[in-house]
Homo-oligomer: A and B are copies of this chain.
């Protein structure tokens, strides 16, 4: 296998595959205990047993076969390798806006797994055109796999890697970038890219799918098409998330990257803009802006890349009887920041005050968001909030706790100076904190 990571295969299984000169997408035969199995070699799922090889059989089923010392692997045919270069595309496609599709894994990337038996070829441009033919009317697509991870395994280092890959494409003059991502932590990554990619000249659109493409109810194709359309021609240049707005295919909602959250485990319209309007919608393949306040697309702009995140930042959700010593523990572990997910307008039990004070004396930056999800932290209403403000806890206003966590990681990746960090944390960088509106002020003051 040429790929440095062996597409998830390791150790003696990888060795056996290399010996057979079998690559992902090749037809192989596995002979074991007088049984034999034929199919297309597909990448190993990251959580599957290391001793198995997975093939897609003619029936369409994927089968994992345990490789023992007496198992034989034989290559029976070379897989059709993608030969795509943008030059091979019909001329009318080449004249369309250029969009890069970066794949990071998740359900949306798994679609092609089911169709072709290989994740790698899944996201070549040619494959994408064959799977979603409407793309050929929208954009000239280039595709790249950044990595292939379920999104619960994606963290600050991956955010930086995606940001750099986006910056690379932008430096080459792309008209927009789509990032295909697992939905579980897509909100966190959207926030991270919003802070890491500043002064964007073109849109960066995260997209996922709640149902894999082998299911009749899959949202993969419509979401992808919507995301590519936004990347190709939206009037704004921000980090956004494109997902189904309703349970039908009528509308794709475009959410601002710092204000979006996965609010349902399984529905197609799981993503919601919180404390902010949806930025735009795609209806009948047209982009309809619903917010007037956005950062305009401007190819003359120079991207500022700031992909540094401090990994020593924790999110702590408060709950009745929470042990305040967990705060001490983070302080002892040399953490630099904590985002509290407090109750209501931004409260935690009095039992936590001493630990918070100690943490702040050790120079941790402590910020407050609300577990209510909707609304705005306002620590001036009750004594409890005022006490926390007096201790030095920073209010995150109407920022999502998840966005608050990512922002604090990013802030402490930019500066070690706590005074500057505090200032940066309370400065609106990417629409993460909305100014108070009149009705809101009435609500919470």
Contacts and interface: CB of A to CB of B under 8 A. Distances in A.
A443 B266 contact: yes
A156 B320 contact: yes
Contacts of A317: 315-317, 341
Interface stretch (A10-18, A147-155, A357-365, A427-435): A147-155
Contact of A319 (B48, B323, B347, B405): B405
Contacts of A373: 263-264, 373
Contact of A265 (B184, B189, B315, B372): B372
A311 interface: yes
B383 A46 contact: yes
A217 B442 CA distance: 9
Contacts of A348: 152
A374 B188 contact: no
Nearest to A335: B323
Given A217-B442, A264-B374, A373-B373, A382 B150 contact: yes
Interface string A312-352: 00111111111101100100010000000111111111110
Given A349-B153, A372-B264, A47 B387 contact: yes
Range for the number of chain A residues in contact with chain B:
35 or more
A370 B261 CA distance: 13
Contacts of A182: 344
A127 B402 CA distance: 44
A116 interface: no
A115 interface: no
Nearest to A383: B47
Contact of A344 (B183, B344, B376): B183
A375 B345 contact: no
A287 interface: no
A424 to B, nearest CB: 20
Interface of A: 45-48, 150-156, 182-185, 188-189, 217, 262-267, 270, 311, 314-323, 325-326, 329, 333, 341-351, 370, 372-378, 382-384, 386-387, 402, 405-406, 409, 440, 442-444
10 closest Cβ pairs, A-B complex: A265-B375, A184-B343, A184-B344, A155-B321, A47-B383, A266-B443, A266-B444, A152-B347, A317-B317, A155-B320
19 contacts: A45-B383, A47-B383, A150-B382, A150-B384, A152-B342, A152-B344, A152-B347, A156-B321, A184-B347, A189-B320, A262-B344, A265-B346, A265-B372, A265-B374, A265-B375, A265-B376, A266-B375, A267-B374, A326-B326
Given A150-B383, A152-B349, 20 more contacts: A47-B350, A48-B383, A150-B347, A155-B349, A156-B320, A188-B319, A264-B372, A265-B346, A265-B370, A265-B375, A266-B376, A266-B378, A267-B443, A315-B322, A317-B317, A319-B405, A320-B406, A325-B333, A326-B329, A373-B373
